[in-house]
Amino acid sequence: MRPQVSWTRRAIAILTGSLVGLYGNMPLVGSKAAQAITTAHCHLLPAVAREKENLRKAALNGDVEFQQQYQTMVSQHAAQLRACRRRNWPQNQAIWLRLYPCDIQPGSLDFLMDRLVNLGYNQVYVEVFYDGQVLLPMADNRTLWPSVVRSPGTERIDLLAEAIKKGRERGLKVYAWMFTMNFGYIYSQLPGREQALARNGDNHTSVSIHEKAQHSTGYNLRQGDSEQVFIDPYNPQAKRDYYYMLHAVLQRRPDGVLFDYVRYPRLTGKASVASRVQDLWIYGRASQQNLYQRAFNQKGRELIRRFLEQGFITVPDIRAVDKLYPNEGEPLWQGRKLDNIYPAEQTESERPQEDEIVDETEQVKVRQAQLQLELWHLTVAHAMQGILDFVKMASYAAERQGIPTGVVFFPSANKTIGQGFDSRLQPWDRFPSWMEWHPMSYGVCGNASCILSEVKRVLSLAPHNAQIQPVLAGNWGRSRSNRPSLEEQMQAIRQMAPHIHTVSHFAYSWQEPEIDRDRMLCQGR
**DSSP per position, 243-307:** HHHHHHHHTT--SEEEEE--S---B-GGGGEE-SGGGSS--SHHHHHHHHTTBSSHHHHHHHHHH
How many Å is the maximal CA-CA distance in the chain? Answer: 118
| pLDDT score, position 525 | 60
Task: Please give the angle made by the CA atoms of 401, 402 and 406, to the nearest 5 degrees.
Answer: 105
Higher-pLDDT residue of 394, 3: 394
Q: What is the mean pLDDT of residues 134-147?
A: 98
Mean pLDDT for 100-122 is: 97
Residue 258 to residue 179: CA distance in whole angstroms = 9
Position 37 scores a pLDDT of 56
The secondary structure of residue 44, as a DSSP letter, is B
Long-range contacts of 392-400 (CB under 8 A, 24+ apart): 392/432, 393/239, 393/243, 394/180, 394/242, 394/243, 394/246, 394/257, 394/259, 395/257, 395/259, 395/432, 395/435, 397/243, 397/246, 397/247, 397/250, 398/246, 398/250, 398/256, 398/257, 399/434
Whether residue 2 is predicted with pLDDT greater than 50 in this model: the reply is: no
Percent of the chain with pLDDT over 70: 86
Per the model's pLDDT, the better-predicted residue between 36 and 352 turns out to be 352
Rounded to an integer, the average pLDDT of 155-173 is: 98
Rounded CA separation 236/242 (Å): 10
- Please say if the pLDDT value at position 56 is more than 50: yes
pLDDT at 479 (0 to 100):
94
> CA 263, 474, 436: angle at the middle one, nearest 5?
40
Q: What count of other Cβ atoms lies within 10 Å of the Cβ of residue 322?
A: 15
**pLDDT attached to residue 338:** 72
- Average pLDDT in the 103-111 region? 97
3-state secondary structure 184-250: CHHHHCCCCCHHHECCCCCCCCCCHHHHHCCCCHHHCECCCHHHCCEECCCCHHHHHHHHHHHHHHH
Q: Are 328 and 296 in contact (CB under 8 A)?
A: no
Please tell me the predicted confidence (pLDDT) of residue 347: 45
Contacts of residue 421, defined as CB under 8 A and 6 or more positions apart, other chains included, come to: 273, 274, 275, 380, 414, 415
pLDDT category at 341 given cuts 50, 70, 90 is low
| Separation of alpha carbons 247 and 227, rounded Å | 24
Cis preceding linkage at 507, omega within 30:
yes
Count of CB atoms situated within 10 Å of the CB of 71: 14
Percent of the chain scoring above 90 in pLDDT: 81
Of 345 and 501, which is predicted with more confidence? Answer: 501
pLDDT band at 215 (very low <50, low <70, confident <90, very high): low
CA-based Rg of the chain, rounded to a whole angstrom? 29
- Reported as type and span, the H/E element at residue 407 is strand 405-409
- pLDDT band of residue 129 (cuts 50, 70, 90) is very high
Residues 6 or more apart from 240 whose CB is under 8 A from it? Answer: none
Predicted pLDDT at 35 = 52
The strand pairing partners of 65, in sequence order, are none
What pLDDT is recorded for position 361? Answer: 82
Mean pLDDT of the chain: 89
Pairing state between β 133-134 and 123-130: antiparallel
Q: 16 falls in which pLDDT band (50, 70, 90)?
A: very low
Give the number of other CB atoms < 10 A from CB of residue 239. 19
Interval 175-206: pLDDT, tens: 999 999 999 999 999 999 999 999 999 999 99
Burial profile 240-274: b = 16 or more Cβ within 10 angstroms, e = fewer: ebbeebbebbbebebbbbbbbbbbbbbbbeebbbb
| pLDDT tens-digit series, residues 366-390 | 999 999 999 999 999 999 999 999 9
Identify the pLDDT of residue 191: 95
What pLDDT score does 481 carry?
87
Residue range 275-298, pLDDT digits in tens? 999 999 999 999 999 999 999 999
Q: pLDDT tier at 360 (50, 70, 90 boundaries)? A: confident
In which element (H, E) is residue 125 found? strand 123-130
Average pLDDT, integer, range 463-488: 95
Q: What pLDDT does 171 receive? A: 97
The string of DSSP letters for 320-338 reads HHHHHSTT--S--BTT---
Q: Which residues, at least 6 apart from 216, have a Cβ–Cβ distance to it below 8 Å?
A: none
3-state secondary structure of 94: strand
Calculate the alpha carbon distances from 93 to 185, 227, 379, 457, 483 in Å: 33, 31, 40, 22, 19
What average pLDDT does range 247-257 have in this prediction?
98
State the Cα angle at 233 between 394 and 214, rounded to 5°: 125
d(CA 401, CA 251): 10
Q: Compute the Cα dihedral for 363, 366, 368, 370 and give only its sign.
A: negative
